[in-house]
Amino acid sequence: MTDTNVTSAEQRAPLKDLPLEELVHQKLESFIEQIQGYDVNDLYPVVLERVERPLIQLVLKKTRGNQVRAASMLGINRNTLRKKINTLNIKIKKPYVE
């Protein structure tokens, strides 16, 4: 019996074709509208942190807290991941559950 939720590599769209950029664009557009009237001079690091935190949390969840696998999946060095975990104040639980 074949699992219909799992597709083979040949059937999947290339990663670059998945609709993430459009979703991020829509959310950022809404965010930019909401900050009208605020004195904003450092938007870039604020937005990056808000995107980076959930990305790292989700990848850690996917890898069950395995930082070596998470770093590999993210395409960054394990030490860089550890720094980001500390900087972004991401709590690690063993086994990792959110």
pTM equals: 0.73
The Cα 46–Cα 42 span in angstroms is: 7
pLDDT for 17-65, tens place per residue?
Answer: 767 888 888 999 999 999 988 888 989 998 999 999 999 999 999 999 9
Rounded distance, CA 71 to CA 63, Å? 10
| In the block, residue with structure tokens 């069950």 | 64
25: number of Cβ within 10 Å: 10
Residue 62 in tokens: 């996917």
Residue 13: predicted pLDDT: 72
- Token readout for 30 is 């809404």
Residue 94's pLDDT is 66
* Mean pLDDT, range 62-70, rounded to an integer: 95
Which of 50, 60, 43 is CA-nearest to residue 71?
A: 60
Res 95 pLDDT > 80: no
What residue ranges define each of the domains in the chain, with the CATH number in brackets? 42-98 (1.10.10.60)
- The pLDDT of residue 8 is 64
